[in-house]
Amino acid sequence: MDRTFHPRSRRVAPFFALAAASALLIAGCSSESGGKEAEEGGTNASAGKADTPQMTVAMVTHAGQGDTFWDIVRKGAETAAAKDNVKLVYSNDPNAANQANLVQNAIDQKVDGIAVTLAKPDAMKGVIAKAEKAGIPVVGLNSGMDVWQEQGLLSFFGQDETVSGEAFGKKLNETGAKHAVCVVHEQGNVSLEARCAGVKKTFEGETENLYVNGTDMPSVKSTVTAKLKQDTSIDEVITLGAPIALTAVQSVDDAGSKAKVATFDLNKELTDAIKAGTIEFAVDQQPYLQGYLAVDSLWLYKNNGNYSGGGEAPVLTGPAFVDKDNVDTIASFAAKGTR
Partner 1 sequence: MTQATAPAASSSPPAPPATQKDGRTTQRSLGRRLLARPEVGALIAAIGVYAFFFAVAPSFREAGSLATVLYQASVMGIMALPVALLMIGGEFDLSAGVAVTSSALTAAILSFQLTLNVWSGVIVALVVSLAVGAFNGWLLIKTGLPSFLVTLGSFLILQGSNLAVTKIFTGNVASDSIAEMDGFDQAKSVFASEVSIGGVDFKVTIFYWLVFAGIATWLLLRTRFGNWIFAVGGNRDSARAVGVPVNLTKIALFMGVGAGAWFVGMHLLFSFNTVQSNEGVGNEFLYIIAAVIGGCLLTGGYGSAIGPVIGAFIFGMVNQGIVYAGWNPDWFKAFLGAMLLLAALVNLWVRHQATRR
State how far the Cα of 190 lies from the Cα of 119, in Å rounded to an integer: 8
Q: What's the per-residue H, E or C state across 267-311? A: CHHHHHHHHHCCCCEEEECCHHHHHHHHHHHHHHHHHHCCCHHHH
Candidate ranges 129-137, 210-218, 277-285, 289-297; the one touching partner 1 (CB under 8 A): 210-218
Shortest Å distance, C-beta 202 to partner 1: 21
Say how many residues touch partner 1, by CB under 8 A.
61
- Residue 33 or 46: which CB sits closer to partner 1? 33
Which of 149, 204, 139 is CA-nearest to residue 175?
Answer: 204
Nearer to partner 1 among residue 28 and residue 310 (C-beta): 28
Phi first, then psi: give them for residue 3, nearest 5 degrees. Answer: -60, -45
Q: Choose between 122 and 216: whose C-beta lies nearer to partner 1.
A: 216
Min. distance of Cβ 333 from partner 1 in angstroms? 13
Coil/strand/helix, residue 216: coil
**Residue 20, C-beta contacts closer than 8 angstroms, at least 6 positions apart:** none
Between CA 269 and CA 280 the distance in angstroms is: 14
Residue 238 interacts with partner 1 (CB under 8 A)? no
In Å, how far are 53, 86, 294 from 303, measured between CA atoms? 10, 12, 15
Select from 82-90, 251-259, 275-283, 295-303 the region that touches partner 1 (CB under 8 A).
251-259
Q: Which is nearer to partner 1, 26 or 48 (CB)?
A: 26
Q: Cβ of residue 148: shortest distance to partner 1, in angstroms?
A: 27
Residues making contact with partner 1 (CB under 8 A)? 1-2, 4-5, 15, 18-19, 21-22, 25-26, 29-39, 64-68, 70-71, 187, 208-211, 213, 215-219, 221-223, 225-227, 229-231, 243, 246-247, 250, 254-256, 267-269, 272, 337
